[in-house]
């Protein structure tokens, strides 16, 4: 690793966010030394450490393990490493899943690795050990597996704390057997270092490299911060987990149990894209220019957007996640990251969801850098990318521009994820744009998604003060900087024709003028 270009190194050279994140902080060419070095060495780059310390409130633990628990773990690592090669440690920690979960105790808080990285073997063993356990809190975001700890018969043994409500956990939430913690994706690591500090982390990792470092693979996000904050780390080591680069590594000495399991990584095949989604994708693509940096979610609408970007040039990626469609555009020469002024030449992401094609693409690929979510999704970091375009979906938009994405009335159906992080980051970006995309109707055309007022009990996700563009299959409404009257007119213009009459009546009643 080369020395940083600042005299005396990086420590103490950045008094705060303004000097580190300001545009003057990066050397000529726009890329800081820490980003250049991140692919060359495992472990957190200096930028990551500086960002964490700049954001960390006084008195809280750092992700690297400040405080008594972190010091204890550091001393433990020093004792283990003394006179021992990491391979010896690895062999000593190998055990079965049933043996590993014996380290979980009643009353513990267990944080589970995110999305397609969830360690199925460890989850199954923990659930099978339920008769021994009481009042174990299981913290998870997107659950892709069966979520057996949410079954009715597990009540009293496990209670799920959902950071995002999905199909596998929704029933438990509705029946009062699980809880929901509203939180921005970018703020989860801070919770894990504070009020939501875990006793145990269940993670899935790649096999160690020649230096004893395992990669978090398809999910760095909150999974790595959870492992750094936990008292006990139980790791499922899977040779099919891709080795991703960036701030995505943990040393064998930090693991308390190693369970080897050669099994397929969970996959999420591309969804079917219909005519409505294609129309939405076409409208969204018209707002994207050559050289823009994109944030895309997952689902039919983001995939439809990608279909209409094949004539664009030098697009970049700074996104909480991406899927197989991005790989196609990389191979087609559309996504090059060449014009990015922040992490140039790199696709920056915090987790991945797709098929084996995606996982093979990111394996040991220096063009993809993965970082914890409190870096990738921090709006101040996002905004360092000029011309950042965020594209997200939603459930409902009212005539003032209030966006609902997580609930239908009082019924919780998902979570905020990184939507607000990227909307605000895009708004702060020089030349940035934020787009909310959705079909104009739901329930096979029976319900309009553009409404006079949001449903009673629904939670506003993106406020009317943050919304930029709203897109349906009928066109684009630009709301930013527009009056309430102008917003209402624009939104009625992209509503489904069957519902425009009622919306016009509401417009005339509210604004006391003919439409």
Could you write out the DSSP letters of every residue in 426-456? HHHSTT-EEEEE--SEETTTTEESEESSPPT
Residues 322, 462 within the same domain: yes
How would you list the strands of the sheet with 200-205, edge to edge?
178-180, 158-162, 136-140, 109-112, 200-205, 232-237, 257-260
Residue 266's pLDDT is 96
Answer yes or no: is 33 within a domain.
no
Answer yes or no: is 248 within a domain.
yes
Show the tokens assigned to 118: 């969830």
Instruction: Tell me the average pLDDT across 10-32.
Output: 37
Angle between helices 484-493 and 497-511 (to 10 degrees): 160
Residue 297's pLDDT is 82
Supply the CATH number for residue 436's domain. 3.40.1080.20
Residues 327, 243 within the same domain: no
Answer yes or no: is 201 within a domain.
yes
Residue 131's pLDDT is 98
Answer yes or no: is 159 within a domain.
yes
Residue 177's pLDDT is 95
Answer yes or no: is 30 within a domain.
no
Q: 111 in helix, strand or coil? A: strand
Dist CA 379 CA 382 (whole Å): 5
Residues 256, 279 within the same domain: no
- Per-residue pLDDT band for 25 (boundaries 50, 70, 90) equals very low
The answer, yes or no, to whether residue 114 has pLDDT greater than 90, is: yes
- Of the candidates 431, 471, 420, the one whose C-alpha atom is nearest the C-alpha of residue 292 is 431
Residues 279, 256 within the same domain: no
Instruction: Tell me the average pLDDT across 368-384.
Output: 98
Residues 251, 389 within the same domain: no
Task: With beta carbons less than 8 A apart as the criterion, state whether 193 and 74 touch.
Answer: no
- Per-residue pLDDT band for 84 (boundaries 50, 70, 90) equals confident
Could you give the count of Cα atoms lying within 13 Å of 45 in the half-sphere of its Cβ?
24
Dist CA 200 CA 164 (whole Å): 20
Catalytic residue status for 508: no
Which is the catalytic residue, given 228, 320, 369, 473?
320
Residues 485, 392 within the same domain: yes
Residues 282, 249 within the same domain: no
Final residue belonging to a domain, choices 209, 234, 260: 260
Own/partner long-range contacts of 506-515 (Cβ < 8 Å, ≥24 apart): 506/399, 506/452, 507/399, 510/399, 510/452, 511/484, 511/485, 513/485, 515/489
Residues 181, 216 within the same domain: yes
Dist CA 223 CA 440 (whole Å): 36
- Per-residue pLDDT band for 28 (boundaries 50, 70, 90) equals very low
Q: In this structure, what are the phi and psi dihedrals at residue 442, rounded to the nearest 5 degrees?
A: -130, 175
Answer yes or no: is 468 within a domain.
yes
Pairing of strands 316-322, 293-296: parallel
Final residue belonging to a domain, choices 230, 260, 290: 260
- Number of structural domains in the chain: 2
Residues 464, 378 within the same domain: yes
- Per-residue pLDDT band for 83 (boundaries 50, 70, 90) equals low
Answer yes or no: is 29 within a domain.
no
Supply the CATH number for residue 159's domain. 3.40.1080.10
Answer yes or no: is 20 within a domain.
no
Could you give the count of Cα atoms lying within 13 Å of 145 in the half-sphere of its Cβ?
22
Residues 292, 436 within the same domain: yes
Show the tokens assigned to 275: 């005519």
Final residue belonging to a domain, choices 260, 292, 318: 260
Residue 94's pLDDT is 98
Q: What is the pLDDT of residues 450-491, one digit of tens each?
A: 999 999 999 999 999 999 999 999 999 999 999 999 999 999
Dist CA 109 CA 112 (whole Å): 10
Residues 78, 159 within the same domain: yes
Buried b (16+ CB within 10 A) or exposed e, 303-341: bbbbbbbeebebbbbbbbbbbbbbbbbbeeebbbbebbb
Instruction: Tell me the average pLDDT across 134-138.
Output: 98
Q: Tell me the CA end-to-end span of the chain in Å, nearest whole number.
A: 65
User: For residue 452, what are the domain limits?
Assistant: 275-511
Residues 218, 363 within the same domain: no
């Amino acid at each position: 690793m080369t020395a940083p270009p600042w005299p005396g190194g990086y420590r103490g050279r950045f008094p705060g966010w303004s000097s580190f994140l300001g545009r003057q902080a990066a050397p000529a060419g726009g890329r800081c030394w820490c980003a250049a070095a991140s692919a060359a060495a495992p472990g957190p780059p200096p930028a990551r450490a500086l960002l964490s310390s700049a954001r960390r409130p006084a008195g809280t633990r750092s992700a690297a393990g400040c405080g008594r628990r972190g010091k204890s773990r550091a001393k433990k690592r020093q004792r283990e490493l003394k006179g021992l090669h990491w391979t010896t440690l690895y062999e000593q920690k190998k055990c079965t899943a049933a043996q590993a979960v014996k380290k979980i105790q009643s009353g513990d808080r267990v944080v589970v690795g995110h999305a397609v990285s969830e360690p199925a073997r460890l989850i199954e063993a923990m659930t099978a050990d339920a008769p021994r356990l009481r009042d174990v809190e299981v913290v998870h975001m997107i659950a892709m597996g069966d979520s057996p700890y949410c079954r009715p018969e597990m009540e009293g043994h496990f209670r799920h704390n959902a950071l995002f409500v999905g199909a596998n956990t929704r029933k438990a939430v509705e029946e009062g057997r699980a809880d929901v913690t509203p939180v921005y994706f970018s703020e989860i690591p801070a919770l894990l270092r504070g009020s939501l500090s875990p006793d145990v982390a269940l993670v899935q990792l790649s096999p160690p490299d020649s230096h004893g470092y395992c990669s978090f693979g398809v999910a760095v996000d909150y999974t790595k911060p959870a492992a750094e904050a936990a008292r006990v780390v139980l790791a499922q080591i899977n040779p099919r987990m891709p080795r991703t680069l960036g701030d995505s590594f943990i040393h064998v000495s930090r693991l308390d149990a190693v369970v080897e399991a050669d099994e397929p990584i969970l996959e999420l095949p591309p969804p079917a894209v219909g005519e409505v989604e294609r129309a939405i994708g076409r409208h969204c693509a018209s707002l994207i220019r050559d050289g823009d940096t994109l944030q895309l979610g997952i689902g039919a609408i983001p995939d439809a957007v990608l279909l209409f970007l094949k004539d664009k040039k030098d697009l970049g990626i700074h996104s909480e996640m991406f899927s197989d469609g991005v790989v196609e555009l990389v191979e087609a020469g559309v996504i090059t990251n060449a014009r990015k002024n922040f992490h140039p030449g790199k696709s920056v992401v915090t987790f991945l969801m797709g098929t084996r094609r995606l996982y093979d693409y990111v394996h040991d690929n220096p063009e993809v850098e993965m970082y914890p979510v409190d870096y990738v999704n921090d709006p101040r970091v996002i905004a360092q990318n000029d011309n950042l375009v965020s594209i997200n979906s939603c459930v409902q938009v009212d005539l003032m521009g209030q966006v609902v994405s997580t609930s239908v009335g009082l019924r919780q159906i998902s979570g905020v994820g990184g939507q607000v992080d990227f909307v605000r980051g895009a708004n702060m970006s020089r030349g940035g744009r934020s787009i909310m995309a959705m079909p104009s109707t739901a329930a096979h055309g029976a319900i309009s998604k553009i409404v006079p007022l949001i449903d009673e009990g629904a939670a506003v996700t993106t406020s009317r003060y943050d919304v930029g563009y709203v897109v349906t299959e009928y066109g684009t409404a630009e709301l930013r900087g527009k009056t309430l009257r102008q917003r209402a007119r624009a939104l009625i213009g992209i509503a489904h024709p069957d519902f425009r009459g009622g919306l016009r009546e509401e417009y005339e009643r509210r604004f006391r003028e003919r439409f």
